[in-house]
Amino acid sequence: MSKAKNAARLEAEARVARRRQGAAHRALRSRATRGKGARSDASPAAEAAAQHPPTAELATPTWLAAESDNPELGAAAASAATPSEPDATPDSRAVTRVSALAAAGAAANAARREDERKASEQEADAASTPDEPEAAPDDTAVLTTPVEETAVMSPAFAPRESAPASAWPATVDDVRTQAIVESAGGSSTSTGERGAHAKKRGRRWLAVPIVIIVLAGLYVGAQALLSGTVPRDTETLGVQIGGKSTGAALAAIDGAADELGAADITLTVESEGESVGMPAADAGLGIDAEATIQDLTGFTLRPERLWQHVTGGGHIDPVPTVDEDALDSAVADGAAELDRDAVDASVEIVGTAGVAHPGENSISVDADATAELVRDGWPTTTAVEAVATVEPPAITNEAAESFADDLSSQLLAGDVTLSSDNGDATITADQVAENSTVTTQEGTLALDIDGETIAADLVKKNPDLETEPEDASFTFTSSHQLKAEKSTDGVTVDGAALGDAITAAAQTQQRAGELPTKALEPDTSSDDIGVGDLKEIVASFDTPLTAEPVRTQNLRTAAADVEGTVVLSGEEFNLHDVLSPITEAEGYADAHVIVNGVLTDGIGGGLSQMATTSYNAAYFAGYTIEQFRPHSVWFTRYPAGRESTIWGTTINVRFTNDTPYAAVLNSYVEGGRLHVDIWSTKYYDVTTSASDKTNVKSPGVKEVSSANCQAKSAGQDGFTITNRRVVKHAGETVKDTSFTWTYQPDDAIKCVSSDD
């Protein structure tokens, strides 16, 4: 290529470069002017927007600028303020707030202008002429690399005086200074197509780190600024805490936690309709407010935190706290309240119908497992279904209802009629209902009918349903022979069996059945008096009467008391008990008695003869003699040494029937003698013997001065005698006893005065 053409081409390139640089210079100055808030050609609306940036734009925190190792953006511009801006100093510059959205838009504009530049170069190449001279370097040339809108830090981040000037072209002044330096350095050496392309690549890559640095600063500043604030639209425990400071959010959560802690945790056994409440705080349940928001506040570089501030935090789960001991104790107490034993269902008779009453299942709560559920559900779940074992009672509601239905439809549905040999009886449903109860027997329901009461009511209304029993008895004929009458049983309604009979009859179509009866035992049965044993007189004894009528009358009265006295096998006969009471009302009168050896009168005089006669009858029957005592003097009407007197219980006649047969005594006065017979079955053979009288003493005279003294002549001698009894059974001796007694002489009584 000729020298002229080359010069023309270079001149064309210079003109294009000057136009491009001029356009870039004007754009940068216009943007810088708007960013500082200075007067510019921008419209009033644009200036207002610059003074009141959108709320999405963020100011860089002061602490970030203060501790940054990099010089502040705009430091170079501050030191190179132009005369047209006399008040522009680093401390007085306006803060330019740049949003992330604006930075992204600036990057897009840079790419677009790069495309326009390429088109302009092609146009310049086509229009160049060889006559154009080579352009001289323009001292006003500026950096041709498209510079996007650059943020100027807020006054809080203004550079310190000691900070070095920044090499970053953050303002138009910085960019212009750098362009002048580059122009002075001989950028005109870039000639030809190869040099132009190298300049283009350098200018394009210079914008990338600037954008990255700006965006990084904005990101860090935003995170720092928002670190003390909960993301918007954040909720926990039903409380909105979005946009609140950390302290306010903690207070709000604590307030909600206190309300939740005061509310009850309810343990339920839903199937049984049972529940128990306990305050959550008492159960050791709480909320850790700080832990709940620890991922929402405080400085972090995690992008999701910033995203939460943009989109909203939404619901966050509170962090629970649990005092294990308090929880276990509270749940154990609640379990104890829920635990219960099973209660059987029951049936009650109301009117003439059965009414079922429901029972209760048993509940046994597993306190440990239930506490685990409470722990896992807190705080979102405050009503917890307790882990419990539920068991039905032995008598279920279904069984009770079935039993009640049967009562109403069968037993109590109407009257029943029962029949017996003595007649018929009608039992009404009202009678049954009034005298019946439903009981539990071995885990089942049972009807308990009071048959005894119903039976008594039936007999009262119809006496023919019962016949009276007859007691066993015996009488003695005029010839003193025994005539025995055996006992007979009576018949009455069997109350013990009546309930079952009523129930059975109610289940028949005719509602009828048999009336149960039972025997009525007599007061005295044949066995009671041993009628079968009274076959013969096994022993008998009699003694002569005296000529004293009153004494004889006392003996007749005593004989009537002894007659018919039964002494069963093994029983004891007690004469005093048989004769008592010995009073005038019983027919006894005063007669001769011996008191301290003196003959006098006393009530029941002569009864010693009954004592002697009954004693000898028992003596010869072979019975065991328990008590007797002879008189102090001997009366010839009694066997010597084998007789007895009586004086209350001190001196008495008692003997025991030691045979296997019952016995009955008969006594009567006849032929001037007192008789006592014992009727029974022969068992013993008895023999007796008496010794000779020894130690014989003649009677004397005794003087008595008492007022009731009765004189008498001398009686029998005094002496000593021994009687022996041998008792045999089936030829074998079973008893061999002897008794010795000494009588005093029967002195004559002489009544004297006490003065004698």
Q: How far is CA 219 from CA 100, 145, 226, 362, 511, in A?
A: 9, 26, 11, 65, 101
Closest of 77, 92, 88 to residue 167, by C-alpha: 77
Cis peptide before 379, with omega less than 30 degrees from 0? yes
Please give the pLDDT value at position 14: 74
H or E, element range at 378: none
Instruction: Assign 231 to helix, strand or coil.
Output: coil
Percent of the chain with pLDDT over 70: 72
The pLDDT tens digits of the residues spanning 620-633 come to 999 999 999 999 99
The maximal CA–CA distance of the chain, rounded, in angstroms, is 215
Q: Which residues of 7-37 are buried (b: 16+ CB within 10 A; e: fewer)?
A: bbbbbbbbebbeebbebbbebbbebbbbbbe
In this structure, what DSSP letter does residue 410 have? I
* Model pLDDT for residues 288-307, shown as the tens digit of each residue: 988 988 888 888 878 888 78
* Both tokens assigned to 284: 């050791």
Cα–Cα–Cα angle for 74, 79, 84, rounded to 5 degrees = 95
Above 90 in pLDDT, residue 658?
yes
Amino acid at 721: I
Of 366, 352, 34, 63, nearest to 220 by C-alpha is 63
Rg (the chain; Cα; Å): 70
DSSP letters along 720-742, please?
EEEEEEEEEETTEEEEEEEEEEE
| pTM score above 0.75 | no
pLDDT at 751: 86
Average pLDDT, the chain: 79
Closest to 413 (Cα-Cα) out of 423, 428, 399: 428
CA angle at residue 102 from 98 to 107, to 5 degrees?
A: 120
Residues in Cβ contact with 384 at an 8 Å cutoff, skipping those fewer than 6 apart: 265, 266, 267, 268, 370, 373, 374, 377
Q: Quick one: residue 641, left, alpha or beta (phi over 0 = left, psi -120 to 50 = alpha)?
A: left
431 against 67, higher pLDDT = 431
- Checking if the pLDDT of 126 tops 90, the result is no
248 bridge partner residues? none
- Name the E strands within 586-717: 590-595, 598-603, 624-627, 654-656, 663-670, 673-680, 685-690, 694-697, 701-704
pLDDT (tens digit per residue) in 634-650: 999 999 999 999 998 99
List the single range of 166-175, 432-441, 480-489, 530-539 with lowest mean pLDDT: 166-175
pLDDT band at 22 (very low <50, low <70, confident <90, very high): low
> Side-chain half-sphere of 346: how many Cα atoms within 13 Å?
9
pLDDT tops 70 at residue 100: no
Both tokens of residue 244? 């609140």
Residue 539: CB atoms within 10 Å: 22
Q: Is 71 helix (H, G, I), strand (E, B) or coil?
A: coil
The number of beta carbons lying within 10 Å of the beta carbon of residue 362 is 17
pLDDT in tens, 699-740: 999 888 877 777 888 989 999 999 999 999 999 999 999 999
Mean pLDDT of 423-449: 92
Q: CA–CA distance from 138 to each of 17, 19, 176, 581 (Å)?
A: 10, 11, 12, 170
Extract the tokens encoding 716: 């029998």
**Which residue, 678, 482, 650, 484, is CA-closest to 573?**
678
The answer, yes or no, to whether residue 313 has pLDDT greater than 70, is yes
Report, as an integer, the average pLDDT of 29-39.
Answer: 46
Q: 441: Cβ–Cβ under 8 A, 6 or more apart, which residues?
A: none
pLDDT of residue 7: 73
Which pLDDT band, with edges at 50, 70 and 90, does 158 fall under? very low
Instruction: Report the pLDDT value the prediction gives residue 304, as an integer from 0 to 100.
Output: 81
Q: How many CB atoms lie within 10 A of CB 720?
A: 17
Q: Which amino acid, one-letter code, is at 172?
A: V
Q: Does the structure show a pLDDT above 80 at 652?
A: yes
DSSP string, 471-526: --EEEE-TT--EEEE--B-EEEE-HHHHHHHHHHHHTSSS-EEEPPEEEE--SS-H
**Which pLDDT band, with edges at 50, 70 and 90, does 11 fall under?**
confident
**pLDDT 10s digits, 534-591:** 999 999 999 999 998 999 999 999 999 999 999 999 999 999 999 999 888 888 887 7
Measured between alpha carbons, how far is 467 from 490 in angstroms, rounded to an integer? 5
Helix and strand numbers (H, E) in the chain are 20, 36
* Each residue's pLDDT tens digit, 316-368: 889 999 999 999 999 999 999 999 999 999 999 999 999 999 999 999 999 99
- Placement of tokens 């009467």 in the chain: 545
Range scoring the smallest mean pLDDT among 70-74, 471-475, 517-521, 695-699? 70-74
Confidence of residue 122 (pLDDT cuts 50, 70, 90): low
Helix (H, G, I), strand (E, B) or coil at 655: strand
